[in-house]
């Protein structure tokens, strides 16, 4: 067996969400553990979704009830959740 690449597990940083603030009109300011933050606009995603379990979050009061669970932005106990990598890279 030949090792072709070495790396230190402690050098790999896992990006997590540490906090989030609802801004308005389905936009959320998300703060990550590496010190960066993104303003993510969920409106287009919600408006174009045909799935009833997603479309129901066009109710703004329901949308605002997200939580941070295990470093993820989470709605209603994993009813709606996005990969952190996608949120970090503005791809929803």
Q: Does the structure show a pLDDT above 70 at 10?
A: no
Quote the domain boundaries for residue 38.
9-88
pLDDT of residue 57 exceeding 70, the answer is yes
Instruction: Return d(Cα 27, Cα 79) in angstroms, integer.
Output: 18
Quickly state the pLDDT bin for 92 (edges 50, 70, 90).
confident
Count the domains in the chain.
1
* 1 found inside a domain: no
Identify the CA nearest to 62 among candidates 49, 70, 53, 71: 53
Buried b (16+ CB within 10 A) or exposed e, 50-71: eeeebebbeeeeebeebeeeee
Q: What is the pLDDT of residues 32-42, one digit of tens each?
A: 999 999 999 99
Evaluated on CA atoms 19, 21, 43, 88, the torsion sign reads negative
Tell me: pLDDT of 88 over 60.
yes
Is 77 within a domain? yes
Per the prediction, the chain carries an average pLDDT of 90
Which CATH number goes with the domain that contains 14? 3.30.2020.10
Beta strands in 12-91 (DSSP E): 17-24, 27-32, 37-41, 66-69, 72-75, 80-81
Look at residue 69 and tell me if it is in a domain.
yes
The pLDDT value recorded for residue 91 is 86
Q: What is the pTM of this model?
A: 0.83
The verdict on residue 3 lying in a domain is no
């Amino acid at each position: 067996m030949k090792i072709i690449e070495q790396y230190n597990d402690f050098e790999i940083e896992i990006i997590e969400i540490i906090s989030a603030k609802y801004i308005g009109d389905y936009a959320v300011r998300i703060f990550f553990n590496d010190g960066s933050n993104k303003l993510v606009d969920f409106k287009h995603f919600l408006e174009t979704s045909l799935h009833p379990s997603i479309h129901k979050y066009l109710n703004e009061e329901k949308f605002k009830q997200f939580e941070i669970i295990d470093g993820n932005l989470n709605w209603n106990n994993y009813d709606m959740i996005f990969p952190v990598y996608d949120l970090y890279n503005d791809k929803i």
